[in-house]
Chains A and B, each alone.
Chain A
Amino acid sequence: MTEYTEDYVRKEARTWLENNWDPNLDLFEWRNKLADSGWGLPNWPSNWYGRDLPVGLVPIVEEEFQRIGALPIPKSGIRMLAAATILNHGTEMHKEKFLRRIVTGEDVWCQLFSEPGSGSDLAGATTKAVMVGNKWVVNGQKVWTTSAHKAHWGLLLARTDMDATKHDGLSYFIIDMKQPGVETQPLKQMNGYASFNQVFLTDAEVLPDFQVSELGDGWKVATTTLMHERRAADSLRAWGQVPSSEGPIYDQERAEIETTMAPYKWYPQRAGRVDLIMQRAKETGAIKDPAVRQEIAKLMTLHKSAEWTARRARSAQEQGKPQGPEGSLGKLAASNVARAAAKVHTMISGAHSMLSGDDSPENGTVAEVLISFPASSIAGGTDEIQKNIISERVLDMPKETRFDAGKPFKDIPRNTIS
């Protein structure tokens, strides 16, 4: 084992970057260099495009990338979830076949977990995989699938045993999305965007080699994928900050970001756009209304307290302290902030709250807040599920009574649409 020090890592990274970074390279040529050297994902294993660096030292490397202006590997998107899952549970063949093109970004991935009949209850998936001859044949429907229409590969959670209990009857596969049995359709949301897809699987095929982990291990593997989901969401936001430097490689990266981020243009609006509140209140004169002033102050009190709570949680984490209750509350607080912000935007905009698109204030941004905020308390786990989890794990309250434990999945009541 090499004993890594900050100075040593910084010097090594700097030297390598100085010798190899060239803004005139093609984006994929550059990413292949990163894959070969391991500097793109230095905490990955050294035999798989990394350098075995402790995670704590990765920021040192990132600083060196920033210093010289080199483009890092985007650590976002479903393909990074795929990478984490394959590194943890995949076979040598999976690693050989998929990891390099994940690093370079040449392959697009999607996650086929949620179904119309299983949202909060993800393990209730009913999409079936049946062994026919020497292949898995998959039938069912998936939903809320990001990038499915562009994806080369999908991470699939499917039921392989109806007689087993709910969690034990699931298996995990990597499915080729470019085959006749896979049909994708955009899913239009109430705010007009179509950021996700529905995926219809009709006799879609998966080779036995593309099963991940053992039969019946699907839920365990899916848990690994989901664990990385929050981290990937954070990186997506960071990556979305378009670099302003000039040069062909930056143009290439900007184009990639543009296409990737387009479906998510409404995400800041979903969170309530608290940043626009004071400016709008002053511009419209609503700030003179004592009732509006009270509501703005209430919103800001909530918003600031939530922000400081997140900082407390991060600070505890950085100091290696055990996580206190403050670490579990961010998502719930964000829902409350979004709701309160939509209310205040409405008070500020008055009659204009009835208008949409470029007839609405801020070229439609205000309207977009008013019709997007309900997603905050649903996406990534509803408020209700969050409250169940916090009350059980943080407050140690009794677990929900289960009606689906210990019996064969086929005997559990479920939605008639599958």
Chain B
Amino acid sequence: MKFSFTEEQDEFRSVLRRFLEDKSPSTEVRRLMATADGWEREQWAKINSELGLTAVAIPEAYGGHGFGLSEQCIVLEEMGRSLLCAPYFGSAVLAASAILYAGTEEQKNELLPGIASGSTVATLAFTEENGSWDNSGLTTIFDKSKNEYSITGTKSFVLDGTTADLIIVLARTPNTKKDEGLSLFAVDGQASGLKKEPLKSVDETRKLARIHFDQVPAKLLGVEGNAAGPMKKTMTRSIICLSNEMVGGADRLREDALEYVKMRMQFGRSIASFQVTKHKATDMLADVELAKSAAYFAAAAFDEEDDETEEAASIAKAASSEAYMQTAIHSIQMHGGIGFTWDNDTHLWFKRAKSSEVFLGDPAHHHEKMMTIWDA
């Protein structure tokens, strides 16, 4: 279903929207983003248990609900809309995908049910100081002695890195390059030799960390040196998820700005009556709707194992990054001075737009990715 949602999907979305409007108003977002962790275990468990959000896309065999990526993307779009402060993306998207695509049957049985139920919060540590989104800049290495693995190196920009119970780590065999010699490992969040360092993030609703690994004991996922394929699929899936989360946030910003200009009076008239405002609001609608089409298409293409999936993922990420950021800029402008204040909520989404614009690759990165596919 690349171009429409089923009635069940529409119903799921509206239940979720009402639920998140209730559980994650901006007062709650502001309360949680001011905490060091950015989320609360008990409060998140309550929200998650009601709708089983972390279980949505995990196969039934591993304790999930077995829905497709399109359904998970509905969850993400609605979370992006409400700016829910929860350890979802790192756990249910990044880490769960990596385990699903790299792990052995036994490992999936061991690790995924906890993520599905929400009792385990996992994350994926793959980026490093250089901020490269592909494997070219990856320097973290693993060592194998007596069939025991250990990891040494530094990962950065790790989502919920200080709070995750389980850290999935991408590391390489010493002296290998790019996609060669890559392996994925599971590391206990409390393992010895781990040093977690919170980073100050622009988007306070999404906490990032730097994690130092000094010969940290790790369990190999799947086959040694074989992680390039699973990581690629994990990235494609995560890029599509992030795109859907972004269009949710963009649409919310667009609606809030529209509501504001309709209410605001200047020069004895509604500022929404100025043609320049009407045209800007229409441009915003076009940007967001086109990006939505790309995000929805990419999710369905992934579910249908379409040949176009990878290019669709990059198109979706490029389109949603541009649309979200542009919508955020317009939204502040439409609010005028009040839009630049801390008390006005616009900046919360503006900052998520900025952070998401670059997370998993900025538009220029994805433009180049699609050209590489087409120019092959």
Contact = CB atoms under 8 A, between A and B. Distances in A.
Interface of A: 278, 282, 287, 290, 293-294, 296-298, 300-302, 304-306, 308-309, 311-312, 314-316, 319, 321, 325-326, 329, 332-333, 336, 384, 386-388, 390-392, 394-398, 400-401
Interface in B233-283: 258, 261-262, 270, 272-273, 275, 277-279, 281-283
Interface stretch (B24-32, B79-87, B293-301, B337-345): B293-301
B243 to A, nearest CB: 11
Interface stretch (B42-50, B52-60, B112-120, B368-376): B368-376
Interface residues of B, number: 39
A311 B371 contact: no
Given A294-B364, A314-B3, A329 B279 contact: no
Given A333-B286, A395-B285, A401-B273, A300 B370 contact: yes
Contacts of A401: 273
B281 A301 contact: no
Contacts of A305: 290-291, 293-294, 315, 319
3 closest Cβ pairs, A-B complex: A297-B367, A391-B278, A398-B273
A282 B294 contact: no
Nearest to A383: B279
B290 A391 contact: no
B138 interface: no
B293 A387 contact: no
Main secondary structure of the interface of A (DSSP, over half): helix
A391 B375 contact: no
A225 B4 CA distance: 31
A301 B319 contact: yes
B315 A395 contact: no
B319 A391 contact: no
Contacts of B370: 297, 300-301
Contacts of B375: 278, 282, 287, 293
Contacts of B294: 301, 304-305, 308
A282 B294 CA distance: 26
B318 A297 contact: yes
A300 B318 CA distance: 11
16 contacts: A282-B375, A293-B368, A294-B364, A304-B315, A305-B293, A305-B315, A305-B319, A308-B296, A308-B297, A312-B293, A326-B293, A329-B285, A329-B290, A333-B286, A395-B281, A401-B273
B317 to A, nearest CB: 9
Most chain B CB within a 10 A radius of its CB, from A293, A308, A325, A390: A308
Contact of B282 (A287, A296, A315, A390): A390
Contacts of A319: 4
